[in-house]
Structure 1
Amino acid sequence: MASIDIISFVCCVGKKTIRKLLDKVTKRSFNHYTNNMELLGGNGMTVENYESKFGKSKYNRDHHVEGVWFIGMVKRSERKHVKLVIVENRKKDTLHAMLKSSIKEDSVIYTDG
């Protein structure tokens, strides 16, 4: 039995209703996470920045991968903080604006590009 089936059975509610509720909870959780993220770094702290594309190549070939670009940021400290942000493209202006809105100004930034 899939998890939606179990929830539907236990709550005596239709599967379609459960899917709609789970979709709403997921969207609200994501919006809350992205709207309330604290800025990383500060006071000369180092923040590492990585670009990655998550997806899969068509027909298991080694070229063009369909997927989504993410920027991952990690604050180097005893207590590491991680932030993942979906980006529409990897253009310089897009990445610069995203980094500016995610990292404090007095931070040291290491990047893979």
Structure 2
Amino acid sequence: MLAIVDMWILGIRTKDICSLMQISKKSLWKFFKKIPVEILPKYYAQVRMIGGDNVIVEIDESKFGRRKYHTSYCVEGVWIFGMVERTEERRIVLIAAENRTAETLTNLTRMYID
């Protein structure tokens, strides 16, 4: 399962992933549909805290989405809260936030920054 995700992240075409893993395209797409439900909670549970003494952590939030038919200024999408260390490792944490209120962002900061 992890090998499939690794190949997908590396940009390997789905056709080639199916061939290498000896699975059908239908099975691969079923797997990709499970990612938000099964794999993301496991990812969030295993994310380590970043930062520490004398380590600067850069924080930013961005909205990913698009305007439907380019007709209005309301953009449907998801807010992503990102944190990255200013170290050689450049460890990063990316979290989908429900909203970007001060309370939400403060809680995420406390959860993931040491």
Q: TM-score, normalised by structure 2?
A: 0.71
Whose radius of gyration is greater, 1 or 2?
1
Range with greater deviation from structure 2 (31-40 or 46-55) = 31-40
Higher relative contact order (CA 8 A, sep 6+): 1
Between structures 1 and 2, the one with greater helix share: 2
Q: From 77, 99, 106, give the equivalent of 1:96.
A: 106
Counterpart CA distance in 2 for 1:22 and 1:54 is 20
Q: How much is the aligned-residue C-alpha RMSD, in angstroms?
A: 2.7
Query: Partner of 2:49 in structure 1?
Result: 39
Matched to 1:3, the amino acid is T
Note the alpha carbon deviations across 1:4-60, whole angstroms, 9 max, x for none: 7x839x857582x44333433x24432222110110100121000001000001222
Alignment gaps of 5+ in structure 1 = 105-113
Counterpart CA distance in 1 for 2:40 and 2:62 is 19
Alignment gaps of 5+ in structure 2 = 1-12
Matched to 1:86, the amino acid is A
Matched to 1:7, the amino acid is C
Identity value in percent: 34
Secondary structure class of the residue paired with 2:54: coil
Between structures 1 and 2, the one with greater strand share: 1
Q: TM-score, normalised by structure 1?
A: 0.72
Give the 5 Å matches for 1:1-40: 3=14, 7=18, 11=22, 15=26, 17-24=27-34, 26-27=35-36, 28-40=38-50
Secondary structure class of the residue paired with 1:48: strand
